């Protein structure tokens, strides 16, 4: 297949592009800067500079590549694109990513229609953001948490599924290139257990997530899929374990009221009430087999 990866130079793109190439696909991959074109070529792709928020540029890039499928991996979650995150102002840090998940996906879908591309796979999110009532582990049929900042991802999910595509709700990434910022904070003991540490996280190794993405492309998957490991877990379990794997001191414990003052409502809500996700549908419908079924094994191997 000819595959167009929008956002081929990010943490996911760098694992996904070589996997697609190894499976015999011809890949065009994008970056916003000419400085990263050699990286895309090293990964085995034809590199293209494209701003995903510029509809004309997206239309031209897709028309020139004439792909069979498009993969949307554009986010702006690095300091280079969105500066240093301030947990008390998440709206600022997520603003550019939210645009890529609303305007960006619309531009790709318009380009797909104009060029006759009938399948799109897009990055969604599944870690701590399940609806905050009922059980701790959610399926694709349960609603996501609804707050101001989630409007863009709701738009992305609805638009992609309506167009016959697939949304991959990835869990929290770890693995090569994906966890350095988090490990840095944990080593400095800046990620605490808040209250009783009840909020759940679903993790996924970046290579397992890339494998699921290739399967979604090859099988022309339709619908929403949770791409997470087998063991959603509360912060009280995975955080001390992760700290141990990287040789850090155990995390601090702080009360909810203090955490709210220090880190704001979004982070505290996630750390106390966040929900995890089930991967049963992705395993069943995509035939996905995980190399790291649990973060216990994955952290030990990837972070030690």
Ligand X SMILES: NC(=O)c1ccc[n+]([C@@H]2O[C@H](COP(=O)([O-])OP(=O)(O)OC[C@H]3O[C@@H](n4cnc5c(N)ncnc54)[C@H](OP(=O)(O)O)[C@@H]3O)[C@@H](O)[C@H]2O)c1
| Interface positions with ligand X (CB under 6 A) | 7-11, 13, 31-33, 36, 50-53, 73-78, 81, 100, 125, 170, 172-173, 178, 181
Nearer to ligand X, 53 or 254 (CB): 53
Least distance (Å) from ligand X to the CB of residue 9? Answer: 4
Phi and psi (nearest 5°) for 127? Answer: -160, 115
Nearer to ligand X, 258 or 301 (CB): 301
In SS3 terms, 203-218 reads as EEEHHHHHHHHHHHHH
Nearer to ligand X, 74 or 166 (CB): 74
Least distance (Å) from ligand X to the CB of residue 51? Answer: 5
Nearer to ligand X, 176 or 258 (CB): 176
Distance spanning both ends of the chain, measured CA to CA:
37
Rounded Cα distance, 219 and 224, in Å: 14
Least distance (Å) from ligand X to the CB of residue 261? Answer: 26
Least distance (Å) from ligand X to the CB of residue 33? Answer: 5
Tokens encoding 10: 């990010």
Nearer to ligand X, 29 or 272 (CB): 29
Nearer to ligand X, 83 or 255 (CB): 83
Residue 92's contacts (CB-CB under 8 Å, 6 or more residues apart) are 82, 83, 86
Rounded Cα distance, 256 and 195, in Å: 5
Phi and psi (nearest 5°) for 128? Answer: 75, -5
Tokens encoding 48: 């293209």
Least distance (Å) from ligand X to the CB of residue 116? Answer: 22
Interior/surface letters 173-191, b for 16+ CB within 10 angstroms, e for the rest? bbbeebbeebbeebeeeeb
Least distance (Å) from ligand X to the CB of residue 190? Answer: 15
User: How many other CB atoms are found less than 10 A from the CB of residue 124?
Assistant: 22
């Amino acid at each position: 297949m000819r595959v167009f990866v929008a956002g081929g130079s990010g943490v996911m793109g760098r694992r996904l592009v070589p996997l697609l190439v190894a499976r015999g696909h011809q890949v065009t991959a994008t970056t916003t800067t000419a400085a990263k074109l050699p990286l895309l070529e090293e990964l085995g792709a034809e590199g293209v500079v494209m701003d995903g928020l510029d509809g004309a540029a997206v239309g031209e890039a897709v028309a020139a590549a004439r792909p069979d499928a498009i993969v949307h991996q554009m986010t702006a979650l690095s300091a280079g694109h969105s500066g240093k995150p301030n947990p008390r102002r998440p709206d600022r840090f997520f603003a550019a990513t939210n645009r890529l998940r609303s305007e960006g996906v619309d531009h790709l879908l318009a380009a797909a229609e104009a060029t006759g591309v009938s399948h799109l796979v897009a990055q969604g999110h599944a870690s701590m953001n399940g609806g905050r009532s009922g059980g701790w582990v959610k399926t694709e049929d349960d609603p996501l948490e609804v707050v101001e900042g989630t409007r863009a991802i709701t738009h992305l999910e609805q638009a992609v599924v309506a167009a016959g595509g697939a949304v991959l709700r990835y869990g929290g990434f770890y693995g090569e290139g994906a966890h350095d910022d988090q490990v840095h904070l944990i080593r400095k003991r800046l990620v605490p257990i808040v209250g009783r540490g009840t909020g759940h996280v679903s993790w996924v190794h970046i290579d397992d997530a890339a494998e699921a993405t290739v399967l979604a492309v090859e099988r022309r998957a339709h619908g929403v899929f949770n791409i997470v490991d087998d063991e959603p877990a509360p912060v009280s379990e995975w955080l001390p374990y992760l700290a141990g794997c990287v040789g850090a001191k155990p995390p601090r414990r702080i009360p909810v009221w203090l955490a709210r003052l220090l880190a704001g409502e979004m982070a505290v809500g996630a750390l106390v009430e966040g929900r995890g996700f089930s991967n049963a549908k992705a395993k069943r419908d995509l035939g996905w087999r995980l190399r790291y079924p649990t973060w216990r094994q994955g952290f030990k191997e990837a972070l030690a």
